[in-house]
Amino acid sequence: MNVNALMLRLHLAAMRIGPAAGCALALLVAGALALGWSLKARQQAGEPLPPAPAQLVQAAPPPTANENLAHFYATLGAKRHAEQQVKQLFDIAAKTGLALDQGDYKLSVDKAGGMAAYQVTLPVRGAYQNIWQFSLQALSAIPFAALDDIAFRRDTISEPVVEARLRFTLYLKEQP
């Protein structure tokens, strides 16, 4: 087989696999060559190869169902402090420069689960970025809160003030 035929076969194979796969194949071959060269250079220099690990690190066993349930209940907030959490939402809104109107509040209790869900719907006005900052800071500050819904409204496209309705749910323990 002559060189021109070999080059033609290589060119056709490269066109068939595409440029991305060709680059990946070239990098794979270059890496294998570099590894082989490195190992050969170490052997010639008399350096020992790094030892294999004596023992693999064992991962911790997964938590049991009871441990998961205990962690879940430990993460919930206290129902008796729900008003303080709502006040914290108002404080975060003020810090982020949002105008916060009167919110809607709804408490639902799951007696079988021993927990309560306190839904807080807040209409806010402000810059789009400030609304997102408020949402993220509220979720960071209150780890047992969830942002269930967010809706934006703007009268005109050029208006810098956005109206939004955010619905948070605070998951609370029945017992203190």
Which CATH number goes with the domain that contains 103?
Answer: 3.30.70.60
Overall average pLDDT of the 93-120 stretch: 90
Q: How confident is the model at residue 1 (pLDDT cuts 50, 70, 90)?
A: low
CA angle, residues 78, 79, 85, in degrees to nearest 5: 75
pLDDT above 80 (res 39): no
Looking at the domain assignment, is residue 57 inside a domain?
no
Rounded mean pLDDT of 110-137? Answer: 92
Residue 83 and residue 35 share a domain: no
pLDDT confidence band for 59 (50 / 70 / 90): confident
Q: Say yes or no: 161 and 83 in one domain.
A: yes
The answer for residues whose C-beta is within 8 angstroms of residue 166's C-beta and 6 or more apart is 121, 122, 124, 131, 134, 135, 147, 149, 150
- In this structure, is residue 67 part of a structural domain? no
Average pLDDT, integer, range 128-154: 94
Q: Is the pLDDT of residue 9 over 80?
A: yes
Asked whether residue 53 is assigned to any structural domain, the reply reads no
Is 149 among the domain residues?
A: yes
Structural domain range at position 153: 72-173
Do residue 77 and residue 164 come from a single domain? yes
Specify whether 76 is located in the same domain as 39. Answer: no
Alpha-helix residue ranges (DSSP H) falling in the chain: 3-17, 19-45, 65-75, 82-95, 128-141
Same domain, 17 and 77: no
So what's the pLDDT on residue 150?
Answer: 95
Q: Do 32 and 86 share a structural domain?
A: no
Q: What domain count does the chain have? A: 2
Note whether 97 and 15 are same-domain residues.
Answer: no
The reply to whether 166 falls in a domain is: yes
Of 144 and 17, the one with more pLDDT: 144
In a domain, 60, yes or no: no
Q: Are 39 and 109 in a shared domain? A: no
**pLDDT higher than threshold 70 for residue 40:** yes
Between 45-59, 79-93, 151-165, the lowest mean confidence (pLDDT) is in 45-59
Confidence of residue 122 (pLDDT cuts 50, 70, 90): very high
In a domain, 112, yes or no: yes
Same domain, 140 and 79: yes
- Note if the pTM is more than 0.85: no
Is 146 part of a structural domain of the chain? yes
In this structure, the answer to whether residues 39 and 115 fall within a common structural domain is: no
Determine the Cα–Cα distance for residues 5 and 48; give it in Å rounded to an integer: 45
Q: What does the mean pLDDT of the chain come to?
A: 87
Cα 68 to Cα 61: distance, rounded to the nearest angstrom: 13
Residue with the bigger pLDDT between 115 and 7: it is 115
Per-residue confidence at 126, pLDDT binned at 50, 70, 90?
Answer: very high
Q: What percent of the chain has pLDDT over 90?
A: 41
pLDDT level of residue 8 (50, 70, 90 thresholds): confident
164 and 92 together in one domain: yes
| Same domain, yes or no: 10 and 93 | no
